[in-house]
Amino acid sequence: MKQLLLLAFVAVAHAQFQNGRILEPPVPSLCVQRTIHERYADNKGYFFSWRDPALRGVEEDWLSARNYCRQRCMDLVSLETSDENEWVKARIVQDKQKYIWTSGRLCDFKGCNRPDLLPNEVNGWFWTAELQKLAPTTNRQQNDWSEGGGIGKPQPDNRELHQGGAAEHCVAILNNFYNDGVHWHDVACHHRKPFVCEENDALLKYVRYTNPNLRV
């Protein structure tokens, strides 16, 4: 089991993004020191970047935010149930945050031409932290995509690409940014935002297996 976990995380650590950036593995010492601001009903811990004095006013692009979380045995939040989604949204509103990153992303790499993921813009969205597919974007009852946006179209709308900019392949929650309530939006991944980290069982298990003397 330990060898399988090691192989999996070596592969993850070498996953390539633009400009040679990588998806980083956990750092055991940071996992031990991770900050938990609140726990959800399942006892999983959450970190809200704007509540940390060292990160107050700091915003990161999607990959940098994800790596901050992963180094601490967490990952960007995956909104797998409507209850969790509403719980996170309530804290965004309560703390007066304009927007936050989630782990949501469009499948835009090798292997994304699988029949069950086509067309990608409908069937290719997933929670990267859990490798869990989202419901098709056409199934509006099973997701929380906004019905509005910068060009007045339902999300995801890939607005920036249509306006000559970058593709919008990452999922953020926007707090009434377009007078459309608090909902999911597709956003270009290079934008900088505050973020929410969620404890990740796989990363915690990996660090515990490889560092049996650490209390993580």
State pLDDT tens for residues 172-201: 999 999 999 999 999 999 999 999 999 999
DSSP 45-75: EEEEGGGSTTTTT--B-HHHHHHHHHTTTEE
At residue 160, the pLDDT reads 97
Number of domains in the chain: 1
The mean of the pLDDT values for the chain is 93
DSSP 128-182: TTTTEEPPPTT-GGGS-B-S--TTS-PSP--HHHHTTS----EEEEEESTTSS-E
161, amino acid identity: L
**Tokens standing for residue 216:** 């993580």
Quote the CA–CA distance of 12 and 26 in Å, as a whole number.
Answer: 11
- Residue 19 falls inside a structural domain: no
Query: Hey, how many other C-beta atoms are within 10 angstroms of the C-beta on 33?
Result: 9
Range of the domain at 152: 36-198
Give pTM, 2 decimals: 0.92
**β 182-187/196-199 pair status:** unpaired
Query: Would you give the DSSP letter of residue 1?
Result: -
- Residue 203 falls inside a structural domain: no
Q: Which residues pair with 198 in a beta bridge?
A: 46, 75
ω into 194 cis (within 30 of 0): no
The CATH number linked to 107 is: 3.10.100.10
Sheet holding 182-187, edge to edge: 132-133, 125-127, 99-106, 170-175, 182-187
- Residue 67 falls inside a structural domain: yes
**Tokens standing for residue 89:** 């949204």
* Lookup result for tokens 């970190």: 47
Query: Would you give the DSSP letter of residue 116?
Result: G
Q: Are 38 and 92 in contact (CB under 8 A)?
A: no
- Residue 1 falls inside a structural domain: no
- Residue 29 falls inside a structural domain: no
- How confident is the model over 28-36, as a mean pLDDT? 98
- Residue 85 falls inside a structural domain: yes
- Please say if the pLDDT value at position 53 is more than 70: yes
